[in-house]
Amino acid sequence: MVTIPGRRKRATIHDVAAEAGVSRGTVSRVVNNEPYVSAEARLAIEAAIAKVGYVPNTAARNLVMQRSQAVGLIVHEPHSLFLEDPNIGEILLGANSALSLADYQMVSLVIESERDTERVARYLSGGFVDGVVVVSAREQDPITRVIERLDLPAAFVGHPQDLRDLPYVGINNRAAARAITERLIGTGRRRIGMIAAALDRDSGADRLAGFTDALGDRFDPALVAPVPLYTYADGRDGMRALLAREPLIDGVFAASDVIAAGALNALREDGRSVPGDVGIVGFDDSAWALRCQPLLSTVRQPANGLGQRAAESVLSQLRGEAPELGGILLDTQIVWRDSA
């Protein structure tokens, strides 16, 4: 073995046993909090651990137990959106709080490209995590198929239609979108459009469906501006497209708060007042809702709670408990402010 100059030798279980005057087996039982150790021996071993500076080798223990004590958080979004979207941050914090209480480490895995997908698939297959929380999965997602093949404990935030028998945590996006659109209609708006983001996943598609439900016979497909992502730039571009199609538009449902913030920018550029000329509502009640001027009317979704419940689902599966395959739906509420 090559010794690196200046690096202190790590204390081992042998050092503790020698210092305490007991066998390695007795030290092992104390370290692993097992019974059949006298109070006198336990005190001697604890004092020896403190004296020699022994820290249990978690990697070696996990190798024996075939556990990594880590859970992956897989986010299917561009790297820039991972930092820009406050919902992802809240989901991350909620998941991490549940995992920390159970002494699990969270590992963030961001998928933006096919290469990322292949890399993460290899990582999961290597046994580096015991389970995963998956955010923003799409239908026909190869990572979902990898999770199924590995029989990896998992919980999804959201519900792709081809999820099959994997547990998920979410909200009723369709009902919430319908409710806030009806509230917008109730303000007397007549030409209402939608900036519909992320239609390749359940959240975006369900919010468009709820908007359509609320308008009924008044729904005009020409007043839907589809955009790829929940981003400020997409909100601005979507609003510009709606203004070009229908100059008389007087109401807008933005598929998220950040979309609404971008739309407000475009409305200001066009000389429109909010809510005087155009009423606008968003979705999420994220930090973006309070940055908007005027303050944004929106749907509050419990992003932190979604992450926490998804992580708790994974932890329960790791304890051998059966997952709730019917899905866990958390409540939303309308928060009415000044923008409509």
Looking at residue 304, its pLDDT comes to 97
What's residue 141's pLDDT?
87
Reported as a pLDDT band with limits 50, 70 and 90, residue 225 is very high
Tokens of 192: 């209402």
- The per-residue pLDDT for 222 is 96
8 Å CB contact between 168 and 134: no
Considering the entire predicted model, what is its pTM? 0.80
How many angstroms separate the CA atoms of 243 and 271, rounded?
A: 11
Interatomic CA distance for residues 133 and 168, integer angstroms:
9
Amino acid residing at 228:
P
Q: What is the pLDDT of residue 3?
A: 46
Span 158-184, mean pLDDT? 92
pLDDT at 218: 95
Instruction: List, in sequence order, every residue forming a beta bridge with 279; answer none if it has no partner.
Output: 251
Helix (H, G, I), strand (E, B) or coil at 56: coil
Share of the chain above pLDDT 90, in %: 71
Q: Which has the closest alpha carbon to 332: 227, 209, 205, 203?
A: 203
Domains and CATH numbers, the chain: 13-56 (1.10.260.40), 70-171+304-330 (3.40.50.2300), 173-300 (3.40.50.2300)
CA dist 195 and 33 (Å) reads 57
Give the model's pLDDT for residue 2: 45
pLDDT tens track for 35-84: 888 888 899 988 998 888 887 665 455 544 456 899 999 998 888 887 77
What is the rounded distance in angstroms from the CA atom of residue 137 to the CA atom of residue 204?
12
What gap in Å lies between CA 157 and CA 72, rounded to an integer? 13
Least confident piece of the model among 101-110, 134-143, 195-204, 249-258: 134-143
> Is residue 31 predicted with pLDDT exceeding 70?
yes
Looking at residue 307, its pLDDT comes to: 98
**DSSP sequence for 117-164:** HHHHHHHHHTT--SEEEEES--TT-HHHHHHHHHT--EEEES--TT-T
Question: What integer pLDDT is reported at residue 1 of this predicted model?
Answer: 43
Average pLDDT, the chain: 91
Q: What is the pLDDT of residue 6?
A: 47
Distance set, CA 311 to CA 152, 207, 315 (Å): 13, 25, 6
Q: What is the pLDDT of residue 115?
A: 94
Q: How far apart are CA 87 and CA 30, in angstroms?
A: 43
Q: Is the dihedral of CA 190, 195, 200, 201 positive or negative?
A: negative
